[in-house]
């Protein structure tokens, strides 16, 4: 008897998911809870365990296909059962899946998924679908190529990725030509000449769109790789935050981390024994940031039209680098935690982010973000604000540097100190420069003082 594998609901607001990878092929034996496939949603990438042990009979949803939650994506049979032959059928919605209500917000997030049965078999979409993979169609979309022009060398004339690469490299259809520079020039001219046309200005956009530049020349040697879903989401969020939402302002502070470094070195071993987790610089930094947010609640706010929304909880987003991108899990109510609690939460979230074991609720609701590119040796960084927050702080590398110190008698000397540069990017709609600096000076003072309840 076959067991249906259902696309899971990865969180309340998630209506669909894309299959990224199958770790088993039809005919393979699988144990219950062994990872069967990987998916990507608007919020997280996740590994999905097999719901039952047995033999994978068939895969119903190909890699790169997006289906509603509740769809049957595969079937598992009893040990010894033979897999079904023939081509993989389309995704079959499980009973009731199509009627799962979605909120307006979910509908906005979701790209429309068209049930294949409803489609006209002779439509261009149907013909292209039968002759190409989603990856190929995505490449065609990105390069503005009509797939019917491309000769397919795959099975039954399918257009393969190699066909597309060859077609693009041959320059048969060059990418969109750059927009004429006149789009920008008249705007400059108009400052002096009121009669000059204002081509290139899009109503409602403060910044005119940049002229489309071809990414490569016809015939140029290139390797083309479609962006992953995560990459596309990051790209959209960054453009949206920096160009359409928040006027970013930046400030950089030099912070002497010598006291924190000493404290960490002194308590590290005992801390690890007591809390069962490692003690890095991050929990101290988080604690100091929390103090700053409590002193300047505007830095822990959001903008909603003409209203400023002061968030009453301090939910710290921490950027975690992944081999395949970046994710920002959130430590909820971080102000209620001591250094031990912060370290535990951070290490647990970072570990599970890298194992693709985060729940969507764990990457939403952040009110302020800390990113630590210093771990890679970065001296200081000025990151892009994660919406709908209004500020983000970057942690540079902590390194020994010569600095001038003055004793109580006013004598100067050069000393070796553990120095960190930290950048704050903030939204000038609600945070003025003075407030951004005052926030940072609280963080600096807390870290330089170095009293964290461990002593
Ligand atoms: N300076 C010096 N040493 C550091 C630093 C800095 N800034 N940060 C970490 N470390 C040390 C840390 O203390 C550990 O040392 P040992 O305990 O002696 O081994 C070691 O480096 C490894 O640290 P780990 O990463 O394990 O733990 P940590 O708690 O410091 O950081 C994390 C956790 C999840 C924040 C981190 O692992 C991470 O993923 N950081 C990268 C975040 C990222 O990619 N952000 C986006 C970067 S791009 O912001 C960006 C504006 C642009 C540039």
Q: Would you give per-residue pLDDT tens digits along the chain (455 residues)?
A: 788 999 987 766 677 888 989 999 999 999 998 899 998 877 777 889 899 999 999 999 999 888 988 899 999 999 888 886 644 444 444 433 332 222 333 333 422 222 222 333 444 444 444 456 656 666 777 777 877 777 777 655 667 677 777 787 776 654 443 333 332 222 222 233 333 322 222 233 434 456 678 999 999 999 999 998 889 988 999 999 999 999 999 999 999 999 999 999 999 999 999 999 999 999 999 999 999 999 999 999 999 999 999 999 999 999 999 998 889 999 999 999 999 999 999 999 999 999 999 998 999 999 999 999 999 999 999 999 999 999 999 999 999 999 999 999 999 999 999 999 999 999 999 999 999 999 999 999 999 999 998 76
Helices 433-449/282-295 angle, 10° precision? 140
> Residue 9: its pLDDT value, please?
79
Inter-residue contact 392 to 383 (CB < 8 Å): yes
Cβ-based neighbours of 213, under 8 Å, separated by 6 or more: 178
Are 83 and 55 in contact by the 8 Å Cβ rule? The answer is yes
- For the chain, give the number of residues: 455
pLDDT at 388: 96
Distance, in Å, from the CA atom of 264 to the CA atom of 29, rounded to the nearest integer, reads 48
For the CA of 371, the closest atom of ligand 1 is 45
Tell how strand 16-22 and strand 66-68 pair up: antiparallel
pLDDT of residue 339: 96
39 close to 17: Cβ distance less than 8 angstroms? yes
Is residue 29 within 8 A of residue 92, CB to CB? The reply is no
Angle between helices 161-169 and 134-143 (to 10 degrees): 20
| Residues in CB range of 63: below 8 A, 6 or more apart | 19, 20, 21, 22, 134
Probe residue for ligand 1, chosen from 316, 372, 424 as the CB with the greatest number of ligand atoms within 8 Å? 372
Q: Which positions are annotated as active-site residues?
A: 428, 432
Paired tokens of 399: 């390194």
Compute CA distances 86 → 58, 150, 154, 210, whole Å: 10, 26, 17, 48
pLDDT score recorded for residue 298: 98
Q: Which atom of ligand 1 is nearest to the CA of 318?
A: 35
Specify whether the CB–CB gap between 240 and 387 falls below 8 A. Answer: yes
- Measured in Å, residue 102 CA sits from the centre of ligand 1 at 38
Q: How far apart are CA 165 and CA 226, in angstroms?
A: 11
d(CA 437, CA 299): 11
Amino acid 154: pLDDT:
65
**Kind plus residue range of the DSSP H or E element containing 288:** helix 282-295
Q: How far apart are CA 262 and CA 447, in angstroms?
A: 12
Going from the Cα of 327 to the center of ligand 1, the distance in angstroms, rounded, reads: 14
- Whole-model pTM: value is 0.68
What distance in angstroms lies between residue 230's CA and the mean position of ligand 1's atoms? 21
Of the candidates 46, 39, 48, the one whose C-alpha atom is nearest the C-alpha of residue 18 is 39
SS3 content of the chain, % helix, strand, coil (to 5): 35, 25, 45
């Amino acid at each position: 008897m076959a067991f249906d594998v259902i696309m899971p609901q990865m969180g309340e607001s998630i209506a669909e998911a894309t299959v990224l990878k199958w770790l088993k092929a039809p005919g393979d034996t699988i144990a219950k809870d062994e990872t069967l496939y990987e998916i990507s949603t608007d919020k997280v990438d996740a590994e999905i365990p097999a719901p039952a042990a047995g033999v994978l009979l068939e895969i119903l949803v190909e890699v790169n296909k997006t289906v509603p939650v509740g769809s049957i994506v595969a079937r598992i049979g009893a040990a010894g059962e033979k897999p079904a032959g023939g081509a993989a059928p389309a995704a079959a919605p499980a009973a009731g899946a199509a009627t799962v209500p979605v909120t307006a917000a979910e509908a906005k997030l979701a790209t429309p998924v068209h049930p294949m049965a409803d489609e006209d078999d002779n439509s261009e979409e149907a013909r292209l679908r039968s002759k190409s993979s989603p990856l190929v169609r995505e490449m065609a979309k990105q390069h503005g190529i009509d797939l019917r022009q491309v000769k397919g060398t795959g099975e039954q004339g399918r257009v393969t990725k190699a066909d597309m690469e060859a077609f693009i490299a041959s320059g048969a259809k060059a990418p969109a030509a750059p927009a004429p520079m006149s789009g920008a020039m008249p705007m400059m001219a108009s400052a002096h000449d009121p009669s000059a046309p204002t081509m290139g200005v899009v109503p409602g956009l403060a910044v005119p769109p940049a002229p489309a530049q071809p990414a490569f020349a016809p015939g140029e040697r290139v390797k083309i790789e479609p962006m992953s879903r995560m990459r596309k989401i990051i790209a959209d969020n960054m453009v949206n935050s920096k160009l359409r939402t928040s006027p970013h302002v930046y400030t950089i502070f030099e912070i002497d981390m010598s006291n924190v470094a000493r404290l960490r070195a002194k308590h590290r071993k005992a801390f690890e024994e007591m809390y069962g987790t490692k003690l890095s610089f991050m929990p101290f930094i988080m604690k100091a940031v929390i103090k700053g947010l409590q002193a300047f609640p505007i830095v822990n706010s959001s903008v909603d039209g003409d209203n400023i929304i002061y968030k009453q909880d301090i939910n710290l987003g921490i950027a975690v680098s992944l081999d395949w991108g970046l994710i920002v899990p959130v430590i909820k109510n971080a102000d209620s935690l001591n250094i031990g609690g912060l370290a535990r939460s951070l290490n647990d979230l970072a570990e599970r982010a890298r194992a693709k074991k985060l729940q969507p609720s764990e990457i939403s609701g952040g009110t302020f973000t800390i990113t630590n590119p210093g771990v890679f040796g970065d001296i200081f960084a000025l990151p892009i604000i994660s919406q709908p927050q209004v500020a983000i702080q970057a942690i540079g590398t902590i390194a020994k540097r010569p600095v001038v110190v003055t004793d109580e008698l006013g004598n100067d000397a050069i000393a070796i100190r553990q120095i960190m540069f930290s950048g704050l990017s903030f939204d000038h709609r609600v945070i003025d420069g003075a407030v951004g600096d005052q926030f940072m000076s609280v963080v600096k003072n807390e870290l330089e003082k170095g009293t964290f309840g461990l002593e």
